Chains A and B, each alone.
Chain A
Amino acid sequence: MSSTVSETTQEHAHADDGKFHLFVQIAMILAVITGVEIVLIYLPIVKWLVVSMLVLLSLVKFLLVIFWFMHLKFDKLFCTILFFIGLVLAGGTVAALLAIFSPHDSVPLSAQAIYAERAAAAK
Chain B
Amino acid sequence: MSAHAGTIDHHHDHTTTTGIPNKKLFMWAFLASDCMFFGALISTHVIYRLHPTPEGADPTKLFSIELTSFSTFILLMSSLLMALAVGASQKGKVEATRKMLLGTIFFGLIFLGCQVYEFTHFVHKGLTLKSDMFGSTFYTLTGTHGVHVAIGVLWLVLMYIRTFKPTDAGKAWVTRAVVQFMAFAVAVVSIMFVMLAVTHAGAEHGYTLSSVVHALQHDAITSGAALAFAVSTVLLFTLGRSTWAVDFGEANAIDVEGMGLYWHFVDIVWIVIFTVVYLLEYL
Contact = CB atoms under 8 A, between A and B. Distances in A.
Contacts of B250: none
A115 interface: no
Contacts of A102: 50
B61 to A, nearest CB: 15
Given A51-B280, A79-B24, A83-B31, A62 B264 contact: no
A55 B65 CA distance: 18
Given A75-B11, A103-B50, A23 B87 contact: yes
Per DSSP, are chain A's interface residues mostly helix, strand or loop, or mixed? helix
Nearest to B257: A71
A19 B32 CA distance: 26
B39 A94 contact: yes
A55 to B, nearest CB: 7
Given A27-B79, A85-B32, A101 B51 contact: yes
Nearest to A106: B51
A19 B87 contact: yes
Contacts of B65: 38
A23 B84 contact: yes
A23 B32 contact: no
Nearest to A68: B83
A66 B280 CA distance: 23
Interface stretch (B156-164, B169-177, B265-273): B265-273
B282 interface: yes
A87 interface: yes
Contacts of B38: 90
Secondary structure dominating the interface of B: helix
Contacts of B25: 78-79, 82
A61 B271 contact: yes
B80 A23 contact: yes
B76 A27 contact: yes
A66 B267 CA distance: 10
B31 A86 contact: yes
Interface string B41-81: 01100110011000000000000010001001100110110
B283 interface: yes
Which 3 residue pairs spanning A and B have beta carbons closest together?
A86-B32, A90-B39, A27-B80
20 contacts: A16-B91, A27-B76, A27-B80, A31-B73, A34-B76, A35-B69, A37-B275, A38-B279, A51-B280, A54-B280, A58-B274, A69-B264, A70-B265, A76-B20, A78-B18, A79-B25, A82-B32, A97-B47, A106-B50, A106-B51
